[in-house]
Amino acid sequence: MKTIVITGASDGIGAAAAKELVSLGHHVVIVGRNPEKTAKVATELGMPYHLADFTKLADVKRLADELRQYEHIDVLANNAGGIMGDRTLTADGFEKTFQVNHLAGFLLTNLLLEKLLADHATVIQTSSIAANLFVKTFDVTDVNVAHDYTSEKAYGYAKYENILFTRELQHRYGDQLTAVAFHPGVVRTSFSSESNTFMRWLYRTPLKYLGTISPERSAKRLVNLSLGVPGTDFIAGEVYDGKKLLPVKVADDGNANARQLWTESAKMVAQFTSI
């Protein structure tokens, strides 16, 4: 039996993955933002839950303190995220899409790093093909998307940052943990509920069923990585679309950007941890 922490598990992919993992006999720790929805999922599954708003890094710090109570963590699934609307800054001063999709997960992982290394854990990032669709070139000096902002660009940047974080985490600590990312597919969830874009409109019409998959089907990708064996079922440090590697088409030096993104992210969360 594995202990698996899933953020963004109050609905959608996270909740569906939690349900399947519990049915297979695993201990799943539910993390969500909405108190009612998170408690409902946890109660139905008979599993513990924790609340955290990833627009507040202090919440991430408190969450990490709470998660350390568990005897071990075999899998940390950084699944929380979504596409936002107009450019807004969090209370911490960072662009909301960037913080919720990347920076909060970066901080949580690093706050739990000692435990994750000791447990030889797998750290999973829910990325997206949006990295290819919305980003042609990546400017690591503008992760807050202060220039030429669109919600799609910000989301594409954040999903590419998930990939860069996976690469660098594996590069730095691959002898003691496993990092991997995946594209969940185009899923019928509420992930675009805060967006004011065409995507939000689309997800509110019957058209959302065209070319999309259910959260349950998408969740199998997260389940498979959670239970898979690195080197046998998947390659550590890579990003997957189902069982296939997802080619990353962003035109840049990924390795250099991965290192720089780590450095810049560490500076941004320095008040909460020394990395």
Of these residues, 155, 157, 160, 203, which one is catalytic?
155
Look at residue 29 and give its three-state secondary structure: strand
Angle at 86 between CA 80 and CA 88, to 5 degrees: 70
Eight-state DSSP code of residue 43: H
Phi, psi of 244 (to 5 degrees): -105, 150
Distance, CA of 108 to CA of 79 (rounded, Å) = 12
**Cβ(112)–Cβ(64) under 8 Å?**
yes
Residue 6 · residue 212 · CB < 8 Å = no
155 is catalytic: yes
Q: Using CA atoms, how far apart are residues 60 and 43, in angstroms rounded to an integer?
A: 22
Cα–Cα distance list, 187 to 91, 151, 194 (Å): 30, 18, 16
Q: What angle do CA 217, 222, 227 make, to 5 degrees?
A: 120
Question: Which residues belong to the active site?
Answer: 155
